[in-house]
Structures are given as structure tokens and as C-alpha cells.
């Protein structure tokens, strides 16, 4: 079932985002009087095609990894004299700029729409209460304590742990003071705690901001009852079943699922004795834990999820907005994620953030499947984030991308004439090399994670 979610989630995500992006170009081109020859979603052999009354060919192609809008242009072939006024290259700099910028802009508008829907749907979030402060960590040195609730990071409100993590990600690779506003356990007293950072997690391949800070979120004690075993995972191969309750590993008692997870992750490849309870009777089996990751990143894998459990009502709160209030919230989230994407790119360029954090099509497909399986809210959030990434990346001033064309148009506007053809061709060659290099690096990172 997960494979189907991955397939359909990826197809829907790419289909929606590419269609909206290209529709932005198409819509503005039509309004600027440019004749659009083809609107294609995907590349390769056409699966479906049709024409509208203005002669534009609409195509759904076999390879769903992008799309394009082909416009009438003298640089790409002879144009009948009667149609010269409808050629893209005959339009003013301002009109060409608007047509090219409309694609990324459409992606940002789509993200705003998705975030607006999410704000309307509302969410139930776990309060960011500290469950453990690791000895010797930055959190302990700053005086943070178990039971305190983090209500803001660097002045940004954090209603849940996702908000805390997002604000911490903003600070990766930096030096300075991280300011956490905390509320004391069982009271209303609030105070600011400063955490000194120095090249915090600079260049780390897969940073874990909370762990790096020395914090663990509060979690309810979850009974170690198995559910949804991987068919070929270690637990299933050893004869364990959904509903079995783990009692001990190597005669060490287990009473909480998270403790079990930590114990397993620390023992990749080891064979352990697992005592479990089934139908009121205890039994013991030998399980050889699988390995995930490579090198120092290797962790053990048991092959089971935990049975569903309930959070205490007092540790949860509802976050929702009305139709009007949802719009500024959507704008805020879109701006926040756009800013974080741009800052992350800058940090990769200067070495503050490892380029191994760059993800490609394999990771996108996995996240698309997981978010689709988790429900409509998670999938909408994924689509919004991916749409923002697509918009930001297309606006980078790299020739062959929309941002590269916009850069050429700005230079043309300042100079009063276009750049020489040879300079533009050289720029395109450099741009293609950069884009291909980044794509190969992202794919290499994806395969390394597998």
C-alpha cells in the first residue's frame, strides 16, 4: 500500500505543481498578446492532446518530470508577418519579465492557498513541553528544565514542536544568542532563556536541532505493543505478530515504546533475545536486528510500528482560524518557509549547512507517499512546501531557469538593449552545467540515504 501512496502522491504532487507553474506563464502570456503554441505537462510522447479555439495545443506527456509553455518566437523559427505582433520576442521588456515571473509567482500563490486551507482545517498540536534535558548539553548549560514549555523561539510563537524545530533550523550553522521564551511547569510565569551558539551544527550532514540543543520532547508513556509489522522485517521473520507486547530485550525490562526504539537503534546488526507476551503467555524468540544507514550513521531496525495511543488532553491544544484570519496566517507561513529556503541555500553556499541536506526526486517521492498516507492535511502541507521550493529555485539567477531570464531582462532594461547573443549563449551553457550538477548531487544524496 505504501508503494501506491508513493506513486500516486508523487504523480499528483508533480502534476499539480507543474500545471500551476506553467499556467502562470500561459495566463500572463495570453494577456500580453503572445500566441501560445503548446502547453505541455510532462515531457516525451504525448498521452493526451487537444486544441483550443486559439490554436494552442494542450499535451499531457508520458514523463511527468516537468512541463513547458512554448510561445511564438522568431528566435525559434520563421514567424508569418501577420503574426509578428504576437511573438514573444517582440514584446516589451516589462511584458516579457511579467510572463517569465508569472510561473514562480503562481507557485507562491498556490502555497498561500494550501496554507489558507490548512489554517481553516485547524490542527491539534502537542504542547512543546520539555521531557528531558540531556546532561552536558547546551540546554542544561542554559538552565532549561524538564516540564518547561517553549512558547517562543527568537520572538516567534511556537504552538507545537514543529514550530520549535522550524525556528531552530533557521539557526543552523550560526553563532550568537538563541532566545527561548519558556513557561514554568504548572504555572503562568514566563521568562527568557538565552542559549549561546557557536557555529552551531555547522556542516553536519543530517542535523537534529532538538538533540543538538540537548532536549527531548515530552511524550506520554506508550506501551510497547506491536502493530503493522514489515512483512520481511526482523520482527516478522522471527515470528512476532501485531498485538504482541514486548516485555524485555536481553532480559532488560521494556515498559515504554520510545525506550525500545532507542535500545534497538543503538544495536544495528545484533542478535537479541526478545521476551514478549501473547494471549497472556510469555515467550522468547531470537531476533537479528537489521541495519539502516551507513558508517557512523548506522542504526538498528526492528520492523514494526507502535499500536495507537492517546495523548492527555491537557498536553494538546487546538490551533484553527476563521476564513479571514486564515489569510494572514497563510501569508506568514509562506513568507517564513520562503525565507528559510533562501537562507538554507545561502548557508549551503558558504558551508554553514552541509550540501548532503539537498534532496532529489527519490526523497520527494518518499515524502509524497508518506504525507499522502498520513492524510489530507499532511499532503496539503507537503504540496505547499514543495510549491515554495519550486518557486524559489526557479527564481535563482541561473540562466536556463526563470530567474536567469529575469536577470537578462533586468540587464536589458538598464542597458536599453539586450545582452549580446554570445553572452546569453555562454550564460545558458554555464546554467545548464550548474543545474545538471545540482541534480546529480541531489540524486547522489538520495541514493546514499537509501
Tell me how far apart the 2 most distant CA atoms of the chain are, in Å: 88
CA 322 to chain centre: 26
Q: Is the pLDDT of residue 384 over 90?
A: yes
- When pLDDT is cut at 50, 70 and 90, the band that residue 295 belongs to is low
Domain boundary among the residues 258, 282, 309 is at 309
231 and 271 together in one domain: yes
List, in order, residues 6 or more apart from 94 with CB less than 8 Å away. Answer: 413
Q: How confident is the model at residue 297 (pLDDT cuts 50, 70, 90)?
A: low
Same domain, 177 and 214: yes
Same-domain check for residues 168 and 236: no
CA separation for the pair 357, 136 (Å, rounded): 27
Q: Are residues 233 and 193 in the same domain?
A: no
**Given its phi and psi angles, is residue 375 left (phi above 0), alpha (psi -120 to 50 degrees) or beta?**
left
Q: Does 1 score more than 60 pLDDT?
A: no
373 is catalytic: no
Same domain assignment for residues 140 and 177: yes
Residue with cell 533586468: 410
Q: Same structural domain for residues 189 and 234?
A: no
Predicted local distance difference test score (pLDDT) of residue 296: 64
Residue 198 DSSP code: S
306: left (phi over 0), alpha (psi -120 to 50) or beta: beta
List 22, 177, 310, 329, catalytic entry: 22
Residue 353 has pLDDT above 80, yes or no: yes
Q: What is the CATH number of the domain that holds 183?
A: 2.30.42.10
At which residue does the C-alpha cell 539502516 appear? 292
- Domain annotation covers residue 85: no
The upper half-sphere exposure of residue 163, i.e. CA atoms within 13 Å in the direction of its Cβ, equals 22
* Helix (H) / strand (E) containing 206: none
Residues 40, 65 contacting (CB under 8 angstroms): no
Average pLDDT over residues 388-398: 93
Domain that holds residue 234: 226-309
Strand partners, 286: 273
Domains: count for the chain: 3
Where do the H-state alpha helices sit in 284-360? Answer: 326-350
The number of C-alpha atoms within 13 Å of 320 and in the hemisphere containing its C-beta is 10
Residues 204 and 245 placed together within one structural domain of the fold: no
Amino acid at each position: 500500500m505504501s508503494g501506491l501512496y508513493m506513486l500516486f502522491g508523487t504523480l499528483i504532487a508533480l502534476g499539480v505543481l507543474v500545471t500551476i507553474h506553467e499556467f502562470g506563464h500561459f495566463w500572463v502570456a495570453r494577456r500580453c498578446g503572445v500566441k501560445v503554441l503548446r502547453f505541455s505537462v510532462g515531457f516525451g510522447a504525448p498521452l493526451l492532446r487537444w486544441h483550443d479555439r486559439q490554436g494552442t495545443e494542450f499535451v499531457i506527456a508520458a514523463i511527468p518530470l516537468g512541463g513547458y509553455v512554448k510561445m511564438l518566437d522568431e528566435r525559434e523559427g520563421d514567424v508569418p508577418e501577420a503574426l509578428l505582433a504576437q511573438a514573444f520576442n517582440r514584446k516589451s521588456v516589462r511584458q516579457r519579465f511579467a510572463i517569465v515571473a508569472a510561473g514562480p509567482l503562481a507557485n507562491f500563490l498556490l502555497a498561500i492557498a494550501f496554507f489558507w486551507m490548512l489554517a481553516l482545517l485547524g490542527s491539534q498540536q502537542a504542547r512543546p513541553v520539555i521531557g528531558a534535558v540531556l546532561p552536558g548539553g547546551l540546554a542544561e548549560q542554559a538552565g532549561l528544565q524538564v516540564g518547561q514549555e517553549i512558547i517562543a523561539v527568537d520572538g516567534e510563537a511556537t504552538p507545537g514542536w514543529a514550530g520549535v524545530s522550524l525556528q531552530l533550523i533557521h539557526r543552523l550553522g550560526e553563532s550568537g544568542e538563541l532566545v527561548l521564551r519558556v513557561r514554568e511547569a504548572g504555572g503562568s510565569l514566563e521568562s527568557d532563556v538565552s542559549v549561546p551558539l557557536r557555529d552551531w551544527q555547522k556542516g553536519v550532514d543530517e542535523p537534529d536541532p532538538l538533540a543538538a540543543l540537548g532536549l527531548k520532547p515530552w511524550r506520554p508513556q506508550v506501551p510497547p505493543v506491536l502493530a503493522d509489522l514489515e512483512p520481511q522485517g526482523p520482527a516478522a521473520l522471527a515470528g512476532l505478530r501485531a498485538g504482541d507486547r514486548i516485555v524485555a530485550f536481553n532480559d532488560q525490562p521494556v515498559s515504554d515504546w520510545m525506550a525500545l526504539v532507542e535500545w534497538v537503534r543503538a544495536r544495528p546488526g545484533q542478535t537479541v533475545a526478545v521476551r514478549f507476551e501473547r494471549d497472556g503467555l510469555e515467550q522468547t524468540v531470537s531476533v537479528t536486528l537489521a541495519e539502516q544507514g551507513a558508517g557512523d550513521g548506522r542504526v538498528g531496525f526492528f520492523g514494526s510500528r507502535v499500536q495507537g495511543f492517546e495523548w492527555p488532553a491537557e498536553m494538546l491544544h487546538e490551533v484553527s482560524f476563521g476564513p479571514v484570519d486564515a489569510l494572514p496566517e497563510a501569508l506568514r507561513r509562506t513568507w517564513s518557509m520562503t525565507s528559510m529556503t533562501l537562507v538554507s541555500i545561502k548557508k549551503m553556499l558558504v558551508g554553514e549547512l552541509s550540501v548532503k541536506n539537498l534532496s532529489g526526486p527519490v526523497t520527494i517521492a518518499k515524502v509524497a507517499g508518506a504525507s499522502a498516507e498520513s492524510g489530507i492535511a499532511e499532503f496539503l502541507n507537503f504540496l505547499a512546501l514543495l510549491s515554495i521550493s519550486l518557486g524559489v529555485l526557479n527564481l535563482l539567477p541561473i540562466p536556463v531557469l526563470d530567474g536567469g531570464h529575469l536577470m537578462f531582462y533586468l540587464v536589458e532594461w538598464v542597458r536599453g538593449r539586450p545582452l549580446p547573443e554570445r553572452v546569453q549563449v555562454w550564460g545558458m551553457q554555464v546554467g545548464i552545467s550548474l543545474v545538471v550538477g545540482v541534480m546529480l548531487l541531489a540524486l547522489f544524496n538520495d541514493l546514499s540515504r537509501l
